[in-house]
């Protein structure tokens, strides 16, 4: 039976840095826990408080690993619910350059990068020179242990790897200069943003802050077009659960879901990992199951969930996508589709082929391209709905082709003009606090890739 040690460790998420983890130590034998955590690369941030801050954002996983080792040593460990939620969360790196790797293999690659990071941070790996190879940062350095092995490093943060080894610093530098002579710079590269965040997370902070749960900002009510994007996948699942007339299937690569109406004339495509500014939704309607498209509508990944929900609700109506009325927009149809905007005081302007309606605050708009009605094509974007700083820097957009039903567009206009929703308060931009001299890296080796 493992002897019990008079030490208690409370593991929690960091109060100000995402993914970082704190450990608050109490008990007469708390030093035993302190030594164990320091050996696992946790850093002392205050009396009885340690921080785990990594460049691979895998802190919850390694905190769970540390908890298991502490418990095996007879130390009492408490994991807060919010940290447990982070531990249980399944996530993947977006656009990971090695998609063939499993989650455990990705973690192994990241952990090797973390070890390189730590060796440089602790002055065990001295960086002689760095360069940018056109894609990422590369560097050459020498270990001050391991028999003085020299290495060629490729990549940054969680993707940094040892790409080659050399028997001596001279040999390594000659090889590095041969390839990167034009871009080669002495010493290490400036710290990346991720590395600066890790240093800041390990800085001294008030222990009471670590123990208290930060208050969650209350959502604010805003026009629907400024609402949070929300969970698009959950939105689609809720829609399909409520409408069994749509059949769902997912592509073999698991990145796209298709929902097809039982009539085979309305199809919804949802791309799950689409970036905020790229098309995440495509709705297409057909006169018959084997005909060409009558009309098509697209929405980007940052489109507010309430806007999409209203759109799906309209499509669920039997007449919401009646393709029999799918004809190119004329003056009467344009007026009907945009009447709610005009009634709500949106500014109406004309500029050549463009007819525009802009919200009173200038943070959303609808644009109609009259040129496309003269050259009808089911794939042309006749209508563009946007919200953001301006239409050239839109946060999200919806586009619709010439024959999109006027009833659908009018319903969308009504929603934009009058509906409200909620969003989390936007964070204020702040500058990182300047670290005191005692916490700045002590050797040139700390200023790394």
Supply the pLDDT for residue 432: 35
Supply the pLDDT for residue 212: 47
Supply the pLDDT for residue 76: 93
Supply the pLDDT for residue 410: 93
Angle of CA points 389, 392, 396, to nearest 5°: 65
Supply the pLDDT for residue 154: 94
* pLDDT above 70: percentage of residues in the chain: 86
- Asked whether residue 207 carries a pLDDT value surpassing 60, the answer given is no
Domains of the chain: 8-88 (3.30.70), 103-203 (no CATH), 223-423 (no CATH)
Q: Taking each helix axis as running N to C, give the angle between helix 305-316 and helix 232-242, from 0 to 180 degrees, rounded to the nearest 10.
A: 20
Residues 310-325 have pLDDT tens digits of 999 998 876 556 544 4
**Band (441; pLDDT cuts 50, 70, 90):** very low
Give how far the C-alpha of residue 445 lies from the chain's centroid of Cα atoms, to the nearest Å.
31
Is 367:391 a contact under the CB 8 Å cutoff? yes
Give the mean model confidence (pLDDT) for residues 390-415: 92
Can you tell me the distance from the alpha carbon of 301 to that of 396, in angstroms, rounded to the nearest whole number?
Answer: 7
Provide CB contacts within 8 A for 253, sequence distance 6+.
Answer: none
Can you tell me the distance from the alpha carbon of 203 to that of 16, in angstroms, rounded to the nearest whole number?
Answer: 11
Is 449:192 a contact under the CB 8 Å cutoff? yes
Looking at residue 307, the DSSP 8-state letter turns out to be H
Give the mean model confidence (pLDDT) for residues 413-432: 74
**Band (347; pLDDT cuts 50, 70, 90):** very high
- Asked whether residue 67 carries a pLDDT value surpassing 50, the answer given is yes
Provide CB contacts within 8 A for 370, sequence distance 6+.
Answer: 353, 354, 355
Closest to 383 (Cα-Cα) out of 348, 334, 345: 334
Residue 27 gets the label, from left (phi > 0), alpha (psi -120 to 50) or beta, of: left
Supply the pLDDT for residue 430: 37
- Asked whether residue 70 carries a pLDDT value surpassing 50, the answer given is yes
- Asked whether residue 145 carries a pLDDT value surpassing 60, the answer given is yes
* Top-confidence residue, 434 or 16: 16
Supply the pLDDT for residue 431: 37
- Asked whether residue 397 carries a pLDDT value surpassing 70, the answer given is yes
In this prediction the pTM is 0.51
Can you tell me the distance from the alpha carbon of 63 to that of 23, in angstroms, rounded to the nearest whole number?
Answer: 9
Supply the pLDDT for residue 321: 61
**Band (429; pLDDT cuts 50, 70, 90):** very low
Is 294:367 a contact under the CB 8 Å cutoff? no
Supply the pLDDT for residue 442: 34
Closest to 274 (Cα-Cα) out of 300, 297, 250, 252: 300
Q: Which of 57-61, 216-220, 312-316, 376-380 has the lowest mean pLDDT?
A: 376-380
Can you tell me the distance from the alpha carbon of 151 to that of 159, in angstroms, rounded to the nearest whole number?
Answer: 15
- Asked whether residue 223 carries a pLDDT value surpassing 90, the answer given is yes
- Asked whether residue 241 carries a pLDDT value surpassing 50, the answer given is yes
* Top-confidence residue, 273 or 208: 273
**Band (138; pLDDT cuts 50, 70, 90):** very high
Supply the pLDDT for residue 449: 26
Supply the pLDDT for residue 210: 45
Looking at residue 212, the DSSP 8-state letter turns out to be S
> Can you read off the two tokens belonging to residue 245?
């007339």
First to last CA, the chain: 47
Supply the pLDDT for residue 438: 32
Mean pLDDT of the chain: 84
**Band (423; pLDDT cuts 50, 70, 90):** confident
Q: Taking each helix axis as running N to C, give the angle between helix 305-316 and helix 406-418, from 0 to 180 degrees, rounded to the nearest 10.
A: 150
Residues 16-42 have pLDDT tens digits of 888 899 999 999 999 999 999 999 989
Supply the pLDDT for residue 61: 93
* Top-confidence residue, 136 or 438: 136
> Can you read off the two tokens belonging to residue 404?
């999109």
């Amino acid at each position: 039976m493992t002897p019990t040690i008079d030490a208690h460790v409370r593991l929690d998420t960091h109060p100000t840095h995402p993914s970082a983890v704190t450990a608050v130590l109490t008990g007469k034998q708390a030093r035993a826990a302190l030594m164990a955590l320091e050996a696992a690369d946790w850093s002392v941030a205050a009396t009885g408080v340690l921080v785990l801050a990594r460049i691979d954002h895998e802190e919850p996983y390694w905190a769970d690993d540390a908890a298991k080792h502490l418990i095996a040593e007879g130390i009492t460990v408490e994991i807060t619910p919010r940290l447990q939620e982070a531990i249980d969360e399944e996530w993947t790196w977006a656009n990971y350059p090695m998609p063939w790797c499993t989650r455990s293999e990705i973690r192994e690659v990241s952990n090797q990068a973390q070890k390189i990071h730590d060796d440089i941070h602790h002055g065990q790996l001295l960086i002689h020179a760095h360069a940018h190879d056109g894609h990422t940062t590369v560097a050459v350095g020498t270990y001050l242990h391991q028999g003085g092995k020299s290495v060629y490093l490729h990549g940054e943060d969680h993707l940094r790897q040892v790409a080659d080894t050399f028997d001596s610093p001279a040999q390594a530098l000659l090889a590095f200069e041969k390839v990167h002579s034009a871009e080669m710079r002495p010493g290490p590269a400036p710290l990346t943003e991720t590395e600066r965040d890790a240093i800041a997370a390990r800085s001294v902070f008030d222990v009471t802050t670590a123990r208290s749960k930060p208050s969650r900002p209350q959502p604010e009510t805003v026009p629907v077009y400024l609402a949070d994007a929300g969970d698009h996948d959950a939105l689609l699942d809720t829609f399909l659960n409520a409408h069994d007339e749509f059949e769902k299937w997912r592509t073999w690569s698991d990145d796209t879901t298709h929902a097809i109406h039982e009539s085979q004339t309305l199809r919804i495509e949802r791309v799950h990992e689409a970036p905020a500014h790229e098309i995440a939704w495509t709705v297409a309607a057909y006169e018959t199951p084997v005909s060409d498209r009558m009309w098509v509508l697209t929405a980007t990944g940052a489109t507010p969930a309430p806007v999409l929900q209203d759109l799906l609700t309209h499509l669920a109506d039997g007449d919401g996508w009646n393709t029999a009325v799918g004809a190119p927009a004329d003056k009467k149809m344009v007026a009907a589709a945009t009447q709610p905007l005009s009634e709500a005081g949106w500014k109406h302007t004309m500029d050549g082929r463009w007819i525009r309606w802009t919200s009173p605050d200038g943070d959303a708009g609808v644009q109609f391209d009259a040129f496309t009605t003269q050259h009808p094509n089911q794939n042309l974007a006749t209508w563009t709905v946007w919200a953001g700083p301006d239409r050239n820097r839109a946060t999200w957009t919806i586009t619709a082709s010439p024959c999109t039903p006027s009833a659908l567009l009018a319903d969308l206009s009504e929603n934009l003009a009058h509906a409200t929703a909620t969003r989390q308060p936007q964070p204020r931009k702040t500058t990182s606090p300047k670290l005191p001299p005692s916490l700045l890296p002590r050797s040139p080796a700390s200023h790394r890739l």
